[in-house]
Chains A and B, each alone.
Chain A
Amino acid sequence: MNARSINLKGLAKLALLLLVLTLIILVNSTELRQVTWLRILFGVSALNFTVRATVPLVLGALSGILCERTGIINIGIEGMMLAGAFAAFTAKVATNSWPLLASLLFGVLLASLLFGVAVALLVGALMGLLHGLMSIRYRMDQIISGTVLIILAAGITAYLFDRNAIAEGKFSQISIPLLSDIPVIGDILFTNAPITFAALILVFVLQVALFRSRWGLRTRACGEHPRAADTVGIKVNRYRYVNTMLGGMVAALAGAYLVLEAVGQFQEGMTAGRGFISLAAMIFGNWNPVGALGAAALFGYTQALQNELLLAGFVNIPRQFVAMLPYVVTIIAVAGLVGKVRAPAAEGKVYQTEGGE
């Protein structure tokens, strides 16, 4: 009976997905496009916006998952993201016209963009290392340590930011052969810039790695019951350092995305709370990569909706209320989940072998 009800649920989900997909294709390729509310809900512009808004959120959530699954709370995603954005920007500006060997291979622009990404990843790893040191080596409260990262990144980037610097160019879109020919969907999903593709691929790679690889099994054991992991010879704190650094890199990639793919420039505080919404997406997705993608897409979609509603002037309530939409949805989503999702049991707790159980 159980198996059947799961099947029914799965079928219902599949049917809903197909329905939405058909609607999307119909709305964008037939006369239905004249219906304002359908266009707001399913129009290409809303969906493109959703994808753009989802990428940094899902990367942020993956960063959180990497850290928390091994037992380290990471509320510093916002700071890691901002540091990554700034690093990407600075590296990009420094190499706007960089005659490098790589430039001969890819062209100056691409080489400089890739260099930006690499530097962002490096800075992200350092932010992760810092978080690891504070919370593992110095046994600081992990919430405080995360807050330190946020304040640190905000302060340093504002101080070092050169307002006259300009990054020239950003990642351009790539169309995936065949898949991008699917009407409407191909445009939205399969014609995008590289970091967007990387983010989507990363979600599925991490999902498999976390639940089906050796690294994933050990990571989860460290986050659930570090003592048990220790007694079978797993170096708990080493896993925690490595995963926190990986988490920092993924968050920094979100920052690089904002600068090198979405906006093209850096602005002070440009992450604008995305790190926190990522945390909500991580929780809403029950610390699963695919779940987090769904949650991030939901939050991204509400942002798109807010945008479309404001543009269309469709509603005549004060725009401030419309602007609240994504945040209200976030709060409701997370509050409604209390007791339904389960955080890794040992997160936030220092582990020492000889500290007893």
Chain B
Amino acid sequence: MLSVIRTIWNVFLHSFRRRVTIQYPDEKPYLTPRTRGRIILSRDPDGGERCVACHLCSAVCPVDCIALQATEDENGRRYPEFFRINFSRCIFCGLCEDACPTYAIQLTPDFEMSEHNRQNLVYEKQDLLISGPGKYTGYNFWRVSGVQIEGKDKGEAENEAPPTDVYRLTP
């Protein structure tokens, strides 16, 4: 008897508390940038595609929902020929973002991805690639890597000495 009355009293008190329920979708919640929602592929500060098709995200993905194929442009810069995420399988664990050595793949706070047709949850590169660097500004893998690409000769990467002279014979 007493506990019933106490419960009713508690419920009554709650009507004076601050509301946490949000009138979604009329009202949108604040989600931190680190929220793990819809995945995007970002670009480096120079506007180039960041993904270098290293296959680390696909390897780490626990549900194997990332598939891609590597290819190279005529100047040796590697990029994905296609890049596909099957969001109907994705569990938004964020391991792909952790594994990515270039900051290309990132999870975003967007979670509104419901579809009537499951097939529409298969995203290709054109659906994933955004025009900016996303959460991580500044980093450009190609400026660090030793591989020569267009606009960056051997020895021009960060912290690199000019190419050695192979004909040198003095110590």
The judgment on whether A and B are partners is no
A residues engaging B (CB < 8 A)? none
